[in-house]
Structure 1
Amino acid sequence: MQEKKNFGKKGLTKKSENIAKWYSDVVLRADLADYSEVKGSMIIKPNGYAIWEKVQTVLDKKFKQNDIKNCYFPLLIPNHLLKKEKKHLQGFSPELAVVTYAGGEKLSEPYVLRPTSETIMYKTFADWIHSYRDLPLKINQWCNVIRWEKRTYPFLRTTEFLWQEGHTVHQIEQEAIKMALEALKWYEDFYKDYFAISPYVGIKSEQEKFAGAKTTYSVELVIPNGKALQAATSHNLGDNFSKVFDISFLDNKEKKCHPFQTSWGLSTRSIGGLVLIHGDDSGLILPPKVADPQVVILVIADKEKIQSEKIKKYAQKIYEKLNKNGLRVKLDIDLKYSLGYRINEWEIKGVPLRIEIGQKELKGKKIKFVRRDTFSQSLVFVEDLIIKTKSLLDQIQKDLFAKSEKIKRDLTVEVNTYQEFRKISQAQKVFIRAFWCEDKKCEEKIKQETKFSTRVLEMNKVKENLKGKCVHCGKPAKRKWLFAQAY
């Protein structure tokens, strides 16, 4: 991923022909990210970081509303802390980046660059928590994470990425379960309401859950090529970590108890999902709720300089009117480039709505609007400018969500036999819903034979008690799980 590539200004790879190449083209051409000199790590450019800032703004507000406070823990984690939780260490071992030298000397104990913060945080929680009065403890940190991935892909899988990780400690287990489910709901709502994406939400299998967790909940996105993208997770840790790190408190009867914990996170990987689901052959398409700008005003030059100046002034008034009404607007008056070039650039960058202002608009009472998602055009009376702009942006947001729902629906199939399962898995990438006996041996064989892994047991199917047969072994099965190939 460290190699730079040259991209011309003409054309993008067609999404339907090669989604992987198309994705790389769009990430670079839309100025979301660039390759760096560090293996597997990317540079997040201002356009990409603006999306991440929106994620931060929305989620941080939600966290604070629920009395979750921000903090920051060190990037360097002493190796002995990771070794304390063996399952946790085994889960991350191949991805660890270890510092053995510093200050020109070999360190007496290696430091691990943070793959996640459970271990260093929980050692400290043991010092902070003594009484039931210290609970619940609820914190979050926005930080970078290092996981030494072998195969990297901008946003989707990188050696270094940004995320938020929430950690809570509770007196009783029911509170921890409730917290883990609340965090899951925040993520689900964020994807639906802001990213205009309809995800699958559910429980991970024992094999696929977070190392050391009691239960892992996941948000899974259905990508148009039929692959799954794990886009956020929430973990009920039970008292597993509190016992390992000796976190304890005295209850109101002076009895020593181990508390129950949760951890949950969402990363810049979410941006990759956004690009893959909504983008088209012309580039990025951003949902209005996360787009900045939401509207771009393009000034169309006139042959006469005096007229061009008048058009600019008129466009400036339109800009100010929209801006005063709380819309995020960009005024493009850079006439050094042709109109076609400028339109092409803004389309690649995915701005939801384009307004074109030239001599015709200056003389008349109507303004030309162009939607990025459908390229449909409409003429709007100036007096209806604000109400029509907001209405169009709302409609784009709704239409993008509906498109995501259709992708999910069209790329999910139900099967009853392993013959069907194998036939479909060989023919195309889709989500397969099927009965599974929940034996990890069956799960492993399905993955070996088809490359399809369990994604989730959907939340609305957790309490199901059906009479079915495992799609692989034929043993009794009560619930249908989702399977897919994953990024």
Structure 2
Amino acid sequence: MSDQQEQELGITTSKEHETGEWYAEVVQKAGMADYAPMGGFIVTRPRGYAVWERIQDHLDGWFKDTGVDNAYFPLFIPESYLEREKDIVEGFDPEVAWVTHGGHEELEERLAVRPTSESIIAPFMAQWVRSHRDLPMRLNQWCSVVRWEATETKPFFRTKEFLWQEGHTAHHDEDDAWDETMTRLEQYERLYEDVMALPPLKGRKPEHDKFPGAHTTTTIEALMPDGKSVQAATSHYLGTSFAEAFDITYVDEDEEETTAHTTSWGLSWRAMGALIMTHSDEQGLVLPPALAPEQVVIVPIWQEDNKEEVLEYSADVAAELDEAGVRVELDDRDHRNPGFKYNDWELKGVPLRIEIGPNEVEDEEITLAHRPDGETETESRSDLAETVRDHLDTVHAKLYASAEETLEGEIREAESREEILGTIGQHGGYVKAGWCGDEDCEEPIKEAIAAEIVMVPLDRDEEPVHDDCAICGEEAEETAYFAKTY
């Protein structure tokens, strides 16, 4: 391979100055995804899918620990089902893909490709819930959904089809359903913090931007390095609107028929986009240890006269780590030099590299290099697994601290339309401002710089950051967080 070909394997664009191009290059060159032949779709490659599976494993375990059962519902939803909840129809109508023919035959009733599954799950919950003893009912499915948006494809952030989980639950009353809503929001927050090394903000959507038909939409938002916000996950308290539309009722302890309260909650592979965008750099992908397909790569460094002992020592280290449950790769490729291997594994995002040469063999040591910052440290070979786990924890902490530092410096305040526009225009990030609660007061910001209200505080009684609405000057009802979004 020529020097030029080797150079082209690496990242050639700037994260700071060409963020979109850089992101696309990292996704493709690190083996996460490719673009599909149809616009708006991607092919998730094995490496990208392995990361998604680890996200799935964490969440799925937590869901099951808190009483959730997995199920699977059809991809297609009859039009008559979709129409039973008018807000769902109106909210998703422009994005629904329709099936009109089966083979050569025109269907009697159009089938929607699911944009979300309330309309197909709720009717079955209505059948399965009879008595108060059937509650709470907690269902979840891992699937793909289709929303036929016209936006430009951005792998994992914006695609017409995307993978996600969607939870749907039914409860006795508002208190039970609200507890469920918050349990899921907190599990999403835990995923971002403990698994993805990414601190989110927690809040709720303004009334005009909540899930169609919901009473309250809670959200966690993650700030990207380019100053835009990502809706990282949402958990909806639906009140009784879906239960009334689909007749989800139960007989209570007093033999009275009562309407259930329902929730729905979801996290999509947009989390993967946030992960890649936040941690990766101009050497390529950076993955936190909990999600990396390989947590450790071992690179042996030998000359011909010591090759055998270096490889033997390296293989022993790999075997011991593997035995301890560490995901480890021994790169003993003969035809690649150590420098190429370093670059190759850095591009793929492996959090920790162990370098082993004749000195390490002689002194019974290992040299560890951290992916995020290249810091190296030489440690004793004894207590190998514990040493490696400590270093993986340090890598996670470094990634979290860097993301936290980005977030903390990017929440500013403004008291007027001009200040909101100027601050977001100059710095990006979040701008907190007093807001009267009227959707019309979001429009001047949206029109001028395509920023919007991404969230308001969870606590409805929290005092606004300023007394007056920054846009119209009327009395502020709450604090609005304005930001540009993905």
TM-score when normalising by structure 1: 0.95
Worse overlay, 384-393 or 64-73: 384-393
Amino acid at match of 1:146: V
Whether contact under 8 Å (1:137, 1:169) holds in the other structure is yes
Q: For the residues of structure 1 that align with 2:379 and 2:93, how far apart are their CA atoms?
A: 59
The residue aligned with 1:37 is 37
| Corresponding pairs, count | 478
Give CA-to-partner distance per residue, 1:322-365, whole Å, 9 cap, x none: 12222111111112222222111100111111011223323333
The residue aligned with 1:465 is 463
Whether contact under 8 Å (1:422, 1:450) holds in the other structure is yes
The residue aligned with 1:238 is 239
- What is the aligned-residue identity percentage? 39
The residue aligned with 1:347 is 346
Give CA-to-partner distance per residue, 1:401-437, whole Å, 9 cap, x none: 1111111112221112222112223334221111111
CA shift for structure 1 position 384: 4.6
Amino acid at match of 1:479: E
Give CA-to-partner distance per residue, 1:112-165, whole Å, 9 cap, x none: 111110000111122112222221111111111111121221000111111111
The residue aligned with 2:396 is 397
Q: Which runs of 4+ in 1 moved over 4 A?
A: none
The residue aligned with 1:46 is 46
Amino acid at match of 2:307: S
Worse overlay, 424-433 or 287-296: 424-433
The residue aligned with 1:437 is 436
The residue aligned with 1:88 is 88
Amino acid at match of 2:483: A
The residue aligned with 1:423 is 422
Give CA-to-partner distance per residue, 1:235-269, whole Å, 9 cap, x none: 00000011111222222222222110000000111
Please give the residue correspondences for 1:335-374 in structure 2 after superposition, counting only pairs within 5 Å.
335-374=334-373
Residue segments in structure 1 that go unaligned for 5+ positions in a row: 1-6
Q: For the residues of structure 2 that align with 1:28 and 1:390, how far apart are their CA atoms?
A: 29
Whether contact under 8 Å (2:10, 2:284) holds in the other structure is no
Q: For the residues of structure 2 that align with 1:448 and 1:239, how far apart are their CA atoms?
A: 35
Q: For the residues of structure 2 that align with 1:387 and 1:100, how far apart are their CA atoms?
A: 59
Q: For the residues of structure 1 that align with 2:38 and 2:11, how far apart are their CA atoms?
A: 28
Whether contact under 8 Å (1:33, 1:44) holds in the other structure is yes
1:469 is paired with a residue of what secondary structure?
A: coil
Whether contact under 8 Å (1:221, 1:231) holds in the other structure is yes
Q: For the residues of structure 2 that align with 1:111 and 1:142, how far apart are their CA atoms?
A: 20
1:84 is paired with a residue of what secondary structure?
A: coil
Whether contact under 8 Å (2:143, 2:164) holds in the other structure is yes
Whether contact under 8 Å (1:12, 1:26) holds in the other structure is no
The residue aligned with 1:4 is none
Worse overlay, 163-172 or 7-16: 7-16
Whether contact under 8 Å (2:143, 2:165) holds in the other structure is yes
Amino acid at match of 2:60: D
Worse overlay, 380-389 or 117-126: 380-389
Q: For the residues of structure 2 that align with 1:412 and 1:470, how far apart are their CA atoms?
A: 18
Whether contact under 8 Å (1:200, 1:458) holds in the other structure is no
Q: For the residues of structure 2 that align with 1:420 and 1:67, how far apart are their CA atoms?
A: 47
Q: For the residues of structure 1 that align with 2:331 and 2:229, how far apart are their CA atoms?
A: 38
Amino acid at match of 2:396: Q
The two structures, once aligned, show a CA RMSD in angstroms of 1.5
Worse overlay, 123-132 or 74-83: 123-132
The residue aligned with 2:272 is 271
2:77 is paired with a residue of what secondary structure?
A: strand
Give CA-to-partner distance per residue, 1:165-222, whole Å, 9 cap, x none: 1110011111111100110000001100000100011010011110111100011110
Worse overlay, 227-236 or 290-299: 290-299
CA shift for structure 1 position 399: 1.5
Whether contact under 8 Å (2:424, 2:430) holds in the other structure is no
Q: For the residues of structure 2 that align with 1:238 and 1:369, how far apart are their CA atoms?
A: 53
The residue aligned with 1:486 is 485
Give CA-to-partner distance per residue, 1:267-305, whole Å, 9 cap, x none: 11100000011111111111112222111001224234x
Amino acid at match of 1:322: L
Amino acid at match of 2:358: Q
The residue aligned with 1:314 is 313
Amino acid at match of 2:433: A
1:77 is paired with a residue of what secondary structure?
A: strand
Amino acid at match of 2:394: Q
2:442 is paired with a residue of what secondary structure?
A: helix
Q: For the residues of structure 1 that align with 2:84 and 2:454, how far apart are their CA atoms?
A: 29
Amino acid at match of 2:402: K
Q: For the residues of structure 1 that align with 2:334 and 2:232, how far apart are their CA atoms?
A: 41
1:207 is paired with a residue of what secondary structure?
A: helix
Please give the residue correspondences for 1:102-113 in structure 2 after superposition, counting only pairs within 5 Å.
102-113=102-113
CA shift for structure 1 position 39: 2.5
The residue aligned with 2:72 is 72
Q: For the residues of structure 2 that align with 1:169 and 1:10, how far apart are their CA atoms?
A: 50
Amino acid at match of 1:376: E
Whether contact under 8 Å (1:131, 1:250) holds in the other structure is yes
The residue aligned with 2:210 is 209
Q: For the residues of structure 2 that align with 1:412 and 1:82, how far apart are their CA atoms?
A: 40
The residue aligned with 1:28 is 28
The residue aligned with 1:59 is 59
The residue aligned with 1:379 is 378
Q: For the residues of structure 2 that align with 1:21 and 1:323, how far apart are their CA atoms?
A: 37
The residue aligned with 1:170 is 171
2:398 is paired with a residue of what secondary structure?
A: helix
Whether contact under 8 Å (2:411, 2:431) holds in the other structure is yes
TM-score when normalising by structure 2: 0.95
Whether contact under 8 Å (1:202, 1:219) holds in the other structure is yes
Worse overlay, 381-390 or 152-161: 381-390
Q: For the residues of structure 1 that align with 2:389 and 2:136, how far apart are their CA atoms?
A: 42
Q: For the residues of structure 2 that align with 1:10 and 1:281, how far apart are their CA atoms?
A: 8
CA shift for structure 1 position 25: 0.5
